[in-house]
Amino acid sequence: MLVIVAPGQGAQTPGFLTPWLEDPTFASRFDWLSTVAGIDLAHYGTEADAETIRRTEIAQPLLVATGLIAALDLFPHPSDAFQRVSAVAGHSVGEIAAAAGARVITAEQAMVLVRERGNAMAAAAAQTPTGMTAVLGGDREEVLAAITAQGLTPANDNGPGQIVAAGTLDQLAAFADAPPAKARLMPLSVAGAFHTEHMAPAVGRLASLARSVSVHDPRTAVISNRDGQVVHSGREVLARIVGQIAAPVRWDLCMDAMLDLGVTGILEMPPAGTLTGIAKRAMKGVETFALKTPDQLDDARAFVDKHGERSVIETTPTWRMVVSPGKGTFHRSEEAASSDSLPPGCLIGEVASTRDTTPIVALHGGDVVEWLVEDGDIVSPGQPLVRLHPQGGGH
């Protein structure tokens, strides 16, 4: 089972795009997305220095455009991807690339959203001196307690031994003076406290734009940063991308979901290395492939062939399938159990895990063709629960 992941801000390095732009097809596609974003991304990916491409409003569109065009090189016929990719996920801004890869939004919509996201987050960061510090090692509970004690936010939870604290520079200074035991602190070269309350102004800007974005339900499972759940509604994917700007990235829960899905291979889109590095430490036994340069494409395709299998979501039209967002025990609702026809927005039940209980809603409604699980069954992320036929529609 294959999962494709897209990295977040900080993965970019000076000149990383140079070998990719030697391919005229890649270069022309990249020029198109640069035009949509209104930024000369080719310049920033080949000639600009590290300090320049660190800027939020440049780094974010640069990363998303690179991931999208590299995916077209990996899968020249995009429909092939849906037959071999079981799930997608992106770290922070990488979620926009993942959403476009799953066909929730178009590449052009992705570039407009990421351009405005980068600008809005840069503006929010300029309001108050804020930053982020990686906390490496230490006891997890002690690290979280120390972060909270200084009024900071655990903005990125990247799995065992890697949590990122974010907040004002004064809070981070106090944190540095009283670090958690057996932990090493590493200040990050970022413009502000991303994924915290300090980014709230940017959420408003993106929420306003998102209301006018047309979406489609994903063609493959999308694993959300917010809680590691598999999201099967295009509108919900977009809403989570907006809210995630000021909410922590739970990459640890994303990796848990991948393991629950039964992933055997993780392929990271360029500029790759960060997420596969985390996976090597946290997901023992799962093979990884970091796609960094175009001369790796043939090996990457072989990796896809080795691990790829058809997405459960893609095998049946999404408008008549309701799937589980995560691992747990399924409990059917009384309304769903007693009716053969479910109205839009009907609660069909809930999935209970040791961590939480998640309600499951049939967004589009429909006539029940068959239940694919029984009350009390153990279900996995993305597992189909009920097959629905749209009311008044054709097959």
Q: Mean pLDDT score of the chain, rounded to an integer?
A: 93
Same domain for 13 and 159, yes or no, is no
Roughly what angle, to the nearest 10 degrees, separates helices 107-127 and 24-37? 50
Residue 347: which CATH number?
A: 2.40.50.100
Same domain for 13 and 79, yes or no, is yes
Domain assignment present for 372: yes
pLDDT at 312: 62
- Residue 340 neighbours by CB distance under 10 Å: 8
Domain assignment present for 177: yes
Is 80 exceeded by the pLDDT of residue 311?
Answer: no
Listed in sequence order, the residues at least 6 apart from 51 whose beta carbon sits closer than 8 Å to its beta carbon are none
Same domain for 36 and 58, yes or no, is yes
pLDDT per position as a tens digit, 233-270:
999 999 999 999 999 999 999 999 999 999 999 999 99
Domain assignment present for 60: yes
| Of the residues 138, 169, 187, the one at which a domain ends | 187
Same domain for 227 and 324, yes or no, is no
| Of the residues 307, 334, 351, the one at which a domain ends | 307
Same domain for 178 and 203, yes or no, is no
Q: Which residue in the list 34, 86, 91, 92 is annotated as catalytic?
A: 92
* Rounded CA separation 194/71 (Å): 27
Inter-residue contact 324 to 257 (CB < 8 Å): no
Domain assignment present for 313: no
Cα angle 371, 377, 382 (rounded to 5 degrees) comes to 70
Hey, which residues does 131 pair with through a beta bridge? 167
Same domain for 81 and 50, yes or no, is yes
Burial class (CB in 10 A: 0-12, 13-18, 19+), 302: exposed
Same domain for 282 and 140, yes or no, is no
pLDDT at 19: 97
Same domain for 222 and 351, yes or no, is no
Is 80 exceeded by the pLDDT of residue 202?
Answer: yes
Same domain for 131 and 110, yes or no, is no
Domain assignment present for 394: no
Residue 95: which CATH number?
A: 3.40.366.10
Same domain for 37 and 78, yes or no, is yes
Domain assignment present for 395: no
Residue 185, classed as helix, strand or coil, is strand
pLDDT tier for residue 77 given thresholds of 50, 70 and 90:
confident
Q: How far is CA 102 from CA 40, 74, 322, 347, 359, in A?
A: 26, 15, 17, 25, 23
The total number of structural domains that make up the chain: 3
Q: Which of 352, 354, 360 is nearest to 378 (CA)?
A: 352
- Residue 344 neighbours by CB distance under 10 Å: 11
Structure tokens at 222: 């999308």
Q: Which residue in the list 34, 86, 195, 333 is annotated as catalytic?
A: 195
Determine whether 195 is an active site residue. yes
Same domain for 358 and 291, yes or no, is no
pLDDT tier for residue 390 given thresholds of 50, 70 and 90:
confident
In the chain, pLDDT over 90 holds for what percent of residues? Answer: 89
Is 80 exceeded by the pLDDT of residue 392?
Answer: no
Inter-residue contact 95 to 241 (CB < 8 Å): yes
Bigger pLDDT: 395 vs 85: 85
Same domain for 223 and 365, yes or no, is no
Structural domain for 111, as ranges: 2-124+197-307
pLDDT tier for residue 219 given thresholds of 50, 70 and 90:
confident
